[in-house]
Amino acid sequence: MSTQTVMVLSGPNLNLLGEREPEVYGADTLEDHMEVARRAAATHGLDVEHMQSNHEGELVDAIHAARDDCAAIVINPGAFTHYAWAIHDALAAFEGPVIEVHLSNPAAREPWRHTSVVAPVAAGTIAGFGGDGYRLAMDAVAALLASS
């Protein structure tokens, strides 16, 4: 059997990680987090493909492309989490497991962050554990793929 690939998607402004707001999002860069994700995935025999975009349509296109060659999606949609129904609809059309990841815990922040339009189409959400969330997400993906 060929190696399965997990598509990791990062939404708007996450390219700024490590440069601003370390008190909220930590000091690690997005690439540091992807290194953690790749290493965690490898322990489960999984590959990672990563894409970051500040544009909703590009994330929708990446979700569509994942339908052809990815077994699962791990997504931190950034602020799109709270209102981007096009991302919700694209994820709903993806057949494999979807895991929503947040570095911070949106439920403990401003009220407008308490709604996620992605959560209803995710197998589960991992929030508030910083970059460790990507390792936890890969463990969850591996367990879900093994049981499917």
Interaction site with ligand CA2 (CB under 6 A): 13-14, 16-17, 20-21, 25, 76, 78-79, 81, 102-104, 106, 113
Q: By C-beta, is 38 or 102 nearer to ligand CA2?
A: 102
User: 3-class SS at 111?
Assistant: helix
Separation CA 37–CA 134 (nearest Å): 5
Query: Least distance from C-beta 140 to ligand CA2, angstroms?
Result: 16
Q: By C-beta, is 4 or 76 nearer to ligand CA2?
A: 76
Is 50 annotated in the active site? no
Is 134 annotated in the active site? no
Q: By C-beta, is 71 or 137 nearer to ligand CA2?
A: 137
Residue 101 token pair: 């990841």
Query: Least distance from C-beta 58 to ligand CA2, angstroms?
Result: 16
Torsion of CA 124, 129, 132, 134, to 10 degrees: 30
Give the Å distances, CA to CA, from 129 to 107, 110, 134, 141. Answer: 13, 18, 9, 17
Q: Which residues are marked as active site? A: 25, 102
